[in-house]
Amino acid sequence: MMNKDSAVLQGGFLLANKLCLPASLSTLQKGDWARVGHPILEVVEELCRQEELSVRPDTKAVHWRKKLVCVLWSKLLCREAGEDRETGWKENPFFPIQNSLPEVSHVVLLELVKSMAAAEIFGRLLLCLHQAQICTELGRLAQHVGCHPTSEDDVRLFLVVWWELWKGRAERTAGGEDSLEKMFADQFACLSSQSAGLSPKAAKRFKLDTSDHPSSPSVSSLTTDVLSVLLHALRDIRDHISTTDLCLQALSVALDALYTSFLIDRAVVLPTDQKMHILSKVVSIRERNDEKLSPELLQEAQRDLRASHSPSPFQPSRMKLTQALKIVTELAQFWRNSGLLKKCDGTNPSYSAFKLEQSVQRVLKALEGVDVPETVSEMDDQQTLSNMKNILRGVLESLAFPALESSPEVNARVTMAIINHRLEDYQEFAVLFATEKSWAASDEHLLDCLERNQAAFQQHETLIKLASTLMSKFHSDTADVSQCRKLMKVIVDIFSALSLEHKNKVLAATLRSSTRGFCGRSVPSAMTDGFGQELNMAFNCIIQGGRGASAAVLQGNLSTAISLVARVAFQNPEATLRCCCHSAVFNKGAFSLMAKILQQLPGLRGRERKEEAQSNGEEKGGKEAEEKSLLCSCLQETIRTKSLSANEKEQFLRFLGLLMRPEMEVEGEERQSFLSPQEVVGAFVLPNLSTMDHSPIDIDLSLQLLHSALCLDLQEPASSPHWVLGCSPFPLLYILAQLLNQGSRCWERPPEGAVHHLSMDTNELLVSVLTTLGRVVGEEVASTPSSWSRALFWLYNKMEELDWTVRFHLKPVWGEHFKNEVPSSLLAVCDLPEQEWSGLELPQYGQGTGLLAWMECCSISDSLQSTMLSCLSLDRRRPDHVNMFSKGLLVALTQTLPWCSVSQWSRLLRALRELLVSGRLHVPYSLEYVDYLPLLDLRGFSCELRLSVLLLRVLQLLCGSSCSHWLLEDGWAHVGRLYAHAVREMLDSLRAKLPLPSSGISTVSPKTPVSRDSDLPSTSPKPSTVSKDPLKDPKQVEEVSPLKSVTSPQGVTAHSRSPKGSSTTAVPSVEPQKDEEVRTVPSKEVLFVLGQLFCHVQHVQVMMPGGQREPLFLSCLEILSLYEAITAAFPDSSTQLEIDNTRHFFSTITDNLENQDMKAVLQQKIAQLVSSAA
């Protein structure tokens, strides 16, 4: 269906067809177009004038011209292909309009293209055809141009179409094909497929129909070589080129076609600055010819530049380089002889001359260069090539083109225009614009360009150069503070819009330049006013946004926080990292958020440069000052300015621990920690351990940091050495060993002026660190022992100054290089092989101290304990030996206990159980807290009972008058904690032997038969007293009697209740059961053991100096809680009378406590125990 515009167009063509009578438009000759073509041109002009009043006039007018060319050309192609009308109206998108027009010839099409200045449109549509058809159409064009009358417009049409073929193919490849071009290409493809089904004659006729004009001799061979067709056509019309400008255009196009077809096989990528200079020269030339700088002008120049440096879209198939070069040089010589190639006007140079100069220089350089193709190097006639080169050089000489220099002002305008209008390569020009410091005079234009085109500069390389340019402006004497601040704000806004990956690249580059960014020492303070406020606001928002938010909100807040920190870090990395460190250490709970932020900003991992470190007052020279991490420097400064509380130390430790972990994966970054363990150890551990008296970090915190670093699983390559080798491992081991040696005297009163006092917890941490570090170093030593032999012997010799036990913590380091050296007294009680063990004569280990050394060895490590137990020389068949060993072990345990850490004490308890179970340690159980003999089978609990008695005896000895002066108050507190730890282990053992049923289930019968093989067989009544000498065997394990009063070594009396208030002893009557019942659970036995443990703990609590301490009190509460739970789960385990006796007995024991608060709580707990059981 036709619209109004189509009807108007139809009218114009019908009128023109009428003017042709008696002929028609289908047989129109070129000379007749001037007579009959004006109705068509008027209609086209009217339609384009209407479109110029629309929103986008240029685009609409071009669209109409292109549409008209498509319709006419499609009509001609359809006629050649013999398209069926029934098929055409269904499939041909141009059918409605083309069917309404009269038949036309190629003359009408080409004259209309020339009159509408639509040569570029014709060239782009020509690219929609296949190459054979392109050659056909080019042949028709050449014939049309050569037909009389031939004008400059005809030649210009030919040259523009030629060059558009070279320019347009790259744009079509890049996706520049519009809808009309696609419709035209689809229609041609459809016609081609239809012609394939016609007769061979018809198909051949469609492929190349020259019936409108007889072929000229030069194209009669009808090749599909596009360049050949064009060059021969140009040679044919050379006589019609009568102006210098056309001559220059023709030679330039021909040379560029030759260069791109034969002399390059890939696109020549010009540096951006070279492109800029060429474009600037083009603009300068055209501005002298009264043209104005515009996007269209630059776009055309860029297209020309790209086409002349890209391989030809039509690679020659038959024509050789020599043939093409011969035609071009002949043409050049012909026009030179004709006087058309003449000297250019220096005041008003021609754009065509400039292009020709560029083209000739490119061809000459390619011909003379080393990358000349084989087709040239293998020519038979080298003289011919030389003559051709001389002709081209003569062209340059005849032109005498004046040297053009592009001014900085024009360069800046061209670059800004390309950026403003997003022309080709605008991002590369943005990089160039950011680096050109010579354009600093154009401050207003620079700022305006940046503000309007921030997206063009959103590349990390561009921004890095832009920031560098800004810094150079900061340091200039003529810097405008107001403009610099505006420029800095725009640059920071551009940075904020970058991706996280590119932000990190920019931050890394900023740190390499300066750790203070835009706020360096030489920058005037007026330029950075307001940054401090922005920094404080950013971190206030971050801290407040992380409080009490949900997980989703926290994730969003984290992204915002990362952007905020990155923004201020870009301006001043050092100040930002200081705020991060301050928040992480001093703001409660902020360390985790700060660590997450920094882990996403690995660009801030940079190191502080030596000169900046010295300007901060750090005069340490050499490698350390150069390689110190900026974050470590900021963190050191943060903790140096203020003493840390316990919570702040914890936050500091956890902050560094998170930063050392390579947990987070950042886009564009490999899995890597923000701080390496080696950096942390080098910054916070090694200096503090070597200068402890002046360190802001105490030993305990340094050891915790070292422990955290050593425990990291970094998954390093097996071939790479461990990071700890870069931290002077052997001196570090020696320092740690010295500290451990000092820790062995932790309960001694420190001398006057002593600064450091290692706690037992620090000693335990120290042992763990020393063991871990020793294992790591030992593995490295074992892999290459020859490399470490000197260091190994140095360390071993240094160990001679220290306690002999310290060497055993470095056993992984020694490997098999040295024997185990122990006091000679140990060899008297232990059968150790001489090949591995040797004795030391130590003054403090004289005769009879073998068991003391043996106990110390048992506490050092599990493997050493196993060796000591297996090699212990003790004849169990000799009761006197066992008895003497047991008494000696009691004394050794008393001497060892106060100086054990918790882990060492756990090992000793394990060794004691092993000795008890194996029968090597004899501990008689005296029932000093039993009123009546329990008719229970206590064999399953003999280890717990005897261990409890053993510990009671040890503490009785330790609290006695001969030993009570050993320890200070802190030492007694530590002993109390160790004893409470042992009680907890015994309670855990009891829980394992009597698992409590689920709540509400209490149907298990606790009945227990009398055992014939009881560990306590005797029931004869006999008064029992506690021996005054804890080393003497009281021999009460086989005799049990009711006890009215128990006197401790310190005179504490515990009264037990007798039945019916009698003070005389009595033996309960026990009726033997006729039918023995199988015991299901040992609830009665466990209750008995718990009662004994409670009495023992109360005894120790009353007896120990400072015994009213919390650990023992909590142990009593735990015993009572377990007692209460068992009586609730097994109600039949105690009668009401037994419950009443237990209440009275426990209350009487508790009455001996001096602390009234503890006593009240325990009495209340005892009352609850009774009521729950009832």
- Helix, strand, coil shares, percent, the chain, to 5: 65, 0, 35
**Quick check: 43 pLDDT over 80?**
yes
Average pLDDT, the chain: 81
Quote the DSSP letter at residue 1078.
Answer: P
Query: Residue 1044 — pLDDT band, cuts 50, 70, 90?
Result: very low
**Quick check: 322 pLDDT over 50?**
yes
**Quick check: 668 pLDDT over 70?**
no
Across 324-330, average pLDDT? 92
Q: Residue 1013, SS3?
A: coil
**Quick check: 530 pLDDT over 60?**
yes
Higher pLDDT, 401 or 302: 302
pLDDT at 210: 39
pLDDT at 202: 41
Give the number of other CB atoms < 10 A from CB of residue 858: 26
Query: Residue 348 — pLDDT band, cuts 50, 70, 90?
Result: confident
pLDDT tens column, 387-424:
888 888 888 888 777 777 888 889 989 999 999 999 99
**Quick check: 1075 pLDDT over 50?**
no
Higher pLDDT, 525 or 1149: 1149
Across 957-973, average pLDDT? 86
pLDDT tens column, 1143-1169:
888 999 999 998 899 999 999 999 887
pLDDT tens column, 1004-1034:
334 333 333 333 333 222 333 333 333 333 3
pLDDT at 14: 92
Q: How far apart are CA 734 and CA 751, in angstroms?
A: 23
Across 883-912, average pLDDT? 94
**Quick check: 206 pLDDT over 50?**
no
What is the pairing mode between strands 837-840 and 1045-1047?
unpaired
Higher pLDDT, 2 or 140: 140
Full DSSP string of 584-625:
HHHSTTHHHHHHHHHHT-GGGG-B--HHHHHHTT----HHHH
pLDDT tens column, 985-996:
999 999 999 888
pLDDT at 514: 82
Q: For 333-344, give one letter per residue: b (16+ CB within 10 A) or e.
A: bbbbeeebbeeb
Q: Tell me the residue type at 404.
A: L
Distance of CA 514 to the CA centre of its chain: 23
**End-to-end alpha-carbon separation of the chain, Å?**
106
pLDDT at 1019: 28
Q: Residue 193, SS3?
A: helix
1038 vs 374, 741, 933, 1015, 1021, CA distance in Å? Answer: 115, 46, 11, 8, 11
Q: Which residues on neighbouring strands pair with residue 823, listed in sequence order?
A: 840
pLDDT at 1005: 39
pLDDT at 52: 53
596 close to 663: Cβ distance less than 8 angstroms: no
1051 close to 1009: Cβ distance less than 8 angstroms: no
Q: How far apart are CA 625 and CA 636, in angstroms?
A: 13
pLDDT at 1047: 32
Higher pLDDT, 144 or 665: 144
67 vs 100, 118, 304, 492, 1103, CA distance in Å? Answer: 15, 11, 25, 48, 112
1042 vs 170, 645, 920, 1152, CA distance in Å? Answer: 112, 56, 30, 20
State yes or no: cis peptide before 731, omega within 30 of 0.
Answer: no
Q: Tell me the residue type at 1106.
A: G
Give the number of other CB atoms < 10 A from CB of residue 667: 10
pLDDT at 408: 85
pLDDT tens column, 55-73:
454 577 788 888 999 999 9
**Quick check: 274 pLDDT over 60?**
yes
Higher pLDDT, 51 or 506: 506
pLDDT at 1150: 92
857 close to 819: Cβ distance less than 8 angstroms: no
The proportion of the chain whose per-residue pLDDT surpasses 70, expressed as a percent, equals: 80
Q: Residue 565, SS3?
A: helix
Across 46-62, average pLDDT? 66
Across 235-247, average pLDDT? 91
pLDDT at 255: 95
Query: Residue 93 — pLDDT band, cuts 50, 70, 90?
Result: confident
Q: How far apart are CA 777 and CA 733, in angstroms?
A: 9
654 close to 585: Cβ distance less than 8 angstroms: no
Closest listed residue to residue 101, CA positions, set 12, 231, 184:
12
Higher pLDDT, 521 or 762: 762
pLDDT tens column, 902-912:
999 999 999 99
pLDDT tens column, 96-137:
888 888 999 999 999 999 999 999 999 999 998 888 899 999
pLDDT at 1160: 93
pLDDT at 1001: 38
Helix axis angle, 879-896 to 902-918, nearest 10°: 170
pLDDT at 310: 92
**Quick check: 755 pLDDT over 50?**
no
Quote the DSSP letter at residue 830.
Answer: B
For 694, residues 6+ apart whose C-beta sits below 8 A from its C-beta are: none
For 179, residues 6+ apart whose C-beta sits below 8 A from its C-beta are: none
Across 1105-1130, average pLDDT? 89
Q: How far apart are CA 637 and CA 1086, in angstroms?
A: 59
The proportion of the chain whose per-residue pLDDT surpasses 90, expressed as a percent, equals: 45
Q: Per this entry, what is the length of the chain?
A: 1174
Across 1070-1097, average pLDDT? 72
pLDDT at 219: 42
Q: Residue 823, SS3?
A: strand
Query: Residue 663 — pLDDT band, cuts 50, 70, 90?
Result: low
Closest listed residue to residue 851, CA positions, set 831, 877, 872:
872
Lowest mean pLDDT among 272-286, 944-958, 1022-1036: 1022-1036
Backbone angles phi and psi of 1021, in degrees to 5: -70, 135
